[in-house]
Chains A and B, each alone.
Chain A
Amino acid sequence: MASITVASAPARTRTRTGVGRRQWIGLLYVAPAVALVVVFFVIPLGMTAWMSLNNWPLMGEHSFVGLDNYAAILHDTRFWNALKFTFYYTVVVTIAIFAVAFPLAIFIERPRPLTNLYRTAFFMPAVVGFASASLLWSWLLNVDSGLFSPAAFDLGLTEKKVNLLATFQPAFWSIIAMVVWKVAGFTMIILMTGLQSIPQDLQEAAVIDGAGPFARFRLITLPLMRRTLALALILSVAGSILAFDQFYIILRGGPRNQTLTAVYWIFNQSFVSFKLGYGAALSMVLLVILVALSLIQLWLLRKPEGLD
């Protein structure tokens, strides 16, 4: 017994140093990535967390206030309203994006004449920045010098030029249309890769078994696209919950502050009211909400047991 212990001890030490060296080399290789993450994510996040515990005006001295900012959030009805609107927008826009992107993905998945042209055309808007796309659309939607209202009026569809941005419903759906135009191409590409990864023989076997197109879509395509769907869904939901540019540039949160999103409210608190500490606390709350939502989605779309 004793001899075994003695004999194995040096061996263990040798193994440890070997693993240790390999680990150090590995660490060295990931160091640049770690440094980037630390400098541009961990430190700012820590800083935000610290700021959220302070009364931190844009100018002047800051002071530690503990959890006061978080307590204030509980009574900040305008923030909760903004969050409510953000969720509503997220649900509507996500459904709209998938409703457009899925048919497009199916349409461009198989090689057929001009497929590459279609793919490029549908994907094009995705390479435009959100801010530039918003500026473009804010002029398209302008009632006096834009495209839609004057065109409808000139074609005799409306009696006078209708100001699309003046009331909630047309303004909201204009934004949805713009976001779908901008984002659907990107979601389409993600969904297309998922579609292409489904083995063709599975579909053929199902055809032989007598499954119709709808049954094949429901029982083969959808289940095998779980991971792709999860990715597209998480990207869409996270992007929509952080929506800001389009509402800021096109609507300024209007008409009558009905389209203020959560990030818009954080921006206002931080840079219009100069309450950086409070803005930081709101950001932390939003971060927690977003992480929770992403976890729920991953759990819902997890790989069921037994499925390859």
Chain B
Amino acid sequence: MKTMLAKLALAAAVIGGGLQAASAETANIWVRADGSNYMPRIVDAFNKAHKDQIKLDIIPNAEIIPKYGAAAAGGTAPDALSLDLIYTPSFAAGGQLEDITDWAKSLPYFASLSPAHVKTGTYKDRIYGLPFSADASVLIWNKKLFKQAGLDPEKGPTNWAEIEADAEKVNALGGDIKGFYFSGNCGGCNIFTFTPLIWASGGDILSEDGSKATLDSPQLRGAIDLYRSMVKKGMVPEGAQTDTGANFFAAFAGGNIGISPSGAFAIGALNTQYPNVDYGITFLPGKDGGWSSFAGGDNFVVTKGTKKIAVVKEFLDFAYSLEGQTILAKYGSLPVRNDIAKDALKDLDPRYQVAAEAMAKGKTPYSVVFNDLINSANGPWTQMVNEVFFGDDVDGAIKNAQDTMQSIIDQAPNK
């Protein structure tokens, strides 16, 4: 009996460990579901080329934060995770992340890393997160509908008046065709695609350090009037008013929408899933021209006290190589190293170049209470966008959101 058990154990050891050298280590990494396209590809490529291995877990978007918190409390947190960049300040403030300042600054291409990511990855002058994946907001238009409406299909709108005029012409085609689409009950979607209209016109909704809410501005008021006017003229489908983001991409992909603010991710998604939709990509413009973009994506953060930090660094080095950046770009993320972005994108759809430029000059709001202020479905920002686009009392809604946001900021722990 004993010998049989021993044989079994030996067999298990051979099967389990025989394929890898004994000294190889495996680090565990989490990513949210948004990364489920590119992340497995880059992890596979890494595992094939390296002795050390990465074990990847994909977690649903809405659950990754509470799940990570619970795992960290129970001592079973992954060694590292790819984290929506806007959460980096609050995670760092929570004392959960490893300080990687020295390593980050030793990277020869540190200065070329996406500034938006590095900014949100920095908390009290120390670096806790480095850029991993990137997505920038852009404006997309349907070339086929533009042509039908008698517009130049190769020329997207370059200011607010053109957005409304073009949408109105497309809308006049009638039937199921509508001029414009946005998710009217989604805070995350609108911080991504609506605030760039304000930024490009010289306004902002938060002060630079995130300590003041600055909603009471003519630029915000102007952008609201643009959306309200299009809603009032019936250029936006009814469903937009209650869309919490489920239709953010699907509405345009259906082929019946003239213009919609969206993200770089739409390029990959449209090309692979909706090859029949002929679309153009341009920047989100300001009132009288100019442009801006929300630079979003994931920061790579390391759990405090992990023993596998060497493997994690090896993986990130690989992701930053030209090979890694090309894999990421091919499967739906923009490059995060600006010095080699052009090389990584050179064989891909040329429309990526617009998005890459948007990313490089994009902006990202900074706040340790971003979730409470902006993304929460019941937060002040989400409530305000719904009220100001569809409600009657615009001034009251703005004032209410301004007061609520300021009080959330003031009450935040570890400001």
Contact for A59 among B96, B241, B371, B391, CB less than 8 A: B96
B70 cross-chain contacts in A, Cβ below 8 A: 58
Q: Give CA–CA (A162, B239) in the complex, Å.
A: 9
> Are A272 and B371 neighbours in the complex by a CB distance under 8 Å?
yes
Q: Given contacts A254-B386, A272-B371, is CB(A59)–CB(B69) below 8 Å?
A: yes
> Are B377 and A253 neighbours in the complex by a CB distance under 8 Å?
yes
Contact for B185 among A58, A252, A260, CB less than 8 A: A252
Is chain B's interface secondary structure helix, strand, loop, or mixed overall?
helix
Q: Given contacts A143-B239, A165-B242, A166-B242, is CB(A256)–CB(B386) below 8 Å?
A: yes
Q: Give CA–CA (A26, B14) in the complex, Å.
A: 53
Contact for A163 among B95, B239, B379, B391, CB less than 8 A: B239
Q: Does B299 lie at the interface of the complex (its beta carbon under 8 Å from any beta carbon of A)?
A: no
> Are A160 and B238 neighbours in the complex by a CB distance under 8 Å?
yes
Within 8 A of A (CB), among B219-275: 237-239, 241-242, 244
Q: Mark A255-269, 1 if CB is under 8 A from B, else 0.
A: 111001000100010
* Most chain B CB inside 10 Å of its own CB: which residue of A59, A143, A271, A274: A59
Q: Given contacts A142-B239, A144-B239, is CB(A274)–CB(B69) below 8 Å?
A: yes
Q: How far is the CB of A108 from chain B (nearest CB, A)?
A: 37
> Are B372 and A273 neighbours in the complex by a CB distance under 8 Å?
yes
Q: Give CA–CA (A165, B386) in the complex, Å.
A: 13
Question: From B378, which residue of chain A is reached at the shortest CB distance?
Answer: A253
Contact for B242 among A59, A143, A160, A253, CB less than 8 A: A143
A253 cross-chain contacts in B, Cβ below 8 A: 377-378
* Most chain A CB inside 10 Å of its own CB: which residue of B68, B93, B185, B378: B378
Q: Does A60 lie at the interface of the complex (its beta carbon under 8 Å from any beta carbon of B)?
A: yes
Q: Does B111 lie at the interface of the complex (its beta carbon under 8 Å from any beta carbon of A)?
A: no
Question: From A248, which residue of chain B is reached at the shortest CB distance?
Answer: B377
Contact for B383 among A58, A144, A257, A272, CB less than 8 A: A257
> Are A61 and B95 neighbours in the complex by a CB distance under 8 Å?
yes
Q: Give CA–CA (A143, B93) in the complex, Å.
A: 42
B237 cross-chain contacts in A, Cβ below 8 A: 144
B372 cross-chain contacts in A, Cβ below 8 A: 272-273
> Are B378 and A57 neighbours in the complex by a CB distance under 8 Å?
no
Q: Does A227 lie at the interface of the complex (its beta carbon under 8 Å from any beta carbon of B)?
A: no
Q: Give CA–CA (A155, B38) in the complex, Å.
A: 46
Q: Does B91 lie at the interface of the complex (its beta carbon under 8 Å from any beta carbon of A)?
A: yes
B72 cross-chain contacts in A, Cβ below 8 A: 59
Q: Given contacts A57-B413, A272-B376, is CB(A255)–CB(B242) below 8 Å?
A: yes
Within 8 A of A (CB), among B51-100: 65-66, 68-70, 72-73, 90-91, 93-96
B371 cross-chain contacts in A, Cβ below 8 A: 272-274
Q: Give CA–CA (A58, B386) in the complex, Å.
A: 29
> Are B69 and A58 neighbours in the complex by a CB distance under 8 Å?
yes
> Are B94 and A60 neighbours in the complex by a CB distance under 8 Å?
yes
Q: Give CA–CA (A273, B412) in the complex, Å.
A: 10
B244 cross-chain contacts in A, Cβ below 8 A: 252, 254
Q: Give CA–CA (A165, B243) in the complex, Å.
A: 10
B69 cross-chain contacts in A, Cβ below 8 A: 58-59, 274
Q: How far is the CB of A152 from chain B (nearest CB, A)?
A: 13
Contact for B95 among A59, A160, A256, A257, CB less than 8 A: A59
Contact for B378 among A143, A161, A166, A252, CB less than 8 A: A252
> Are A252 and B377 neighbours in the complex by a CB distance under 8 Å?
yes
Question: From B184, which residue of chain A is reached at the shortest CB distance?
Answer: A166
Question: From B251, which residue of chain A is reached at the shortest CB distance?
Answer: A144
Q: Give CA–CA (A273, B72) in the complex, Å.
A: 17
B166 cross-chain contacts in A, Cβ below 8 A: none
Q: Give CA–CA (A274, B72) in the complex, Å.
A: 13
Q: Give CA–CA (A30, B220) in the complex, Å.
A: 65
Q: Does B387 lie at the interface of the complex (its beta carbon under 8 Å from any beta carbon of A)?
A: yes
Q: How far is the CB of A84 from chain B (nearest CB, A)?
A: 16
Q: Does B318 lie at the interface of the complex (its beta carbon under 8 Å from any beta carbon of A)?
A: no
Q: Give CA–CA (A163, B184) in the complex, Å.
A: 13
> Are A260 and B94 neighbours in the complex by a CB distance under 8 Å?
no
Q: Does B331 lie at the interface of the complex (its beta carbon under 8 Å from any beta carbon of A)?
A: no
Q: Does B390 lie at the interface of the complex (its beta carbon under 8 Å from any beta carbon of A)?
A: yes
Q: Give CA–CA (A223, B376) in the complex, Å.
A: 49
Q: How far is the CB of A60 from chain B (nearest CB, A)?
A: 4
Q: Give CA–CA (A254, B186) in the complex, Å.
A: 11
Within 8 A of B (CB), among A54-82: 55, 57-61
Question: From A274, which residue of chain B is reached at the shortest CB distance?
Answer: B69
Q: Mark B87-120, 1 if CB is under 8 A from A, else 0.
A: 0001101111000000000000000000000000
11 extra A-B contacts, CB within 8 A, seeds A163-B241, A273-B371, A274-B90: A58-B66, A58-B70, A59-B72, A60-B96, A162-B238, A166-B390, A252-B377, A254-B185, A256-B391, A271-B65, A272-B372
- Which residues of A come within 8 Å of B, CB atoms? 55, 57-61, 142-144, 160-163, 165-166, 252-257, 260, 264, 268, 271-274
A-B contact pairs, 29 of them (CB 8 A): A58-B65, A58-B66, A58-B73, A58-B94, A59-B72, A59-B95, A60-B93, A60-B94, A61-B95, A142-B239, A160-B238, A163-B241, A166-B238, A166-B241, A252-B185, A252-B244, A252-B377, A253-B377, A254-B377, A254-B386, A255-B386, A256-B383, A256-B391, A264-B378, A268-B376, A268-B378, A273-B371, A273-B376, A274-B90
Q: Which 7 A-B pairs have the closest CB atoms?
A: A59-B94, A58-B69, A60-B94, A144-B239, A252-B377, A60-B95, A59-B96
- Which residues of B come within 8 Å of A, CB atoms? 65-66, 68-70, 72-73, 90-91, 93-96, 185, 237-239, 241-242, 244, 369, 371-372, 376-379, 383, 386-387, 390-391, 413
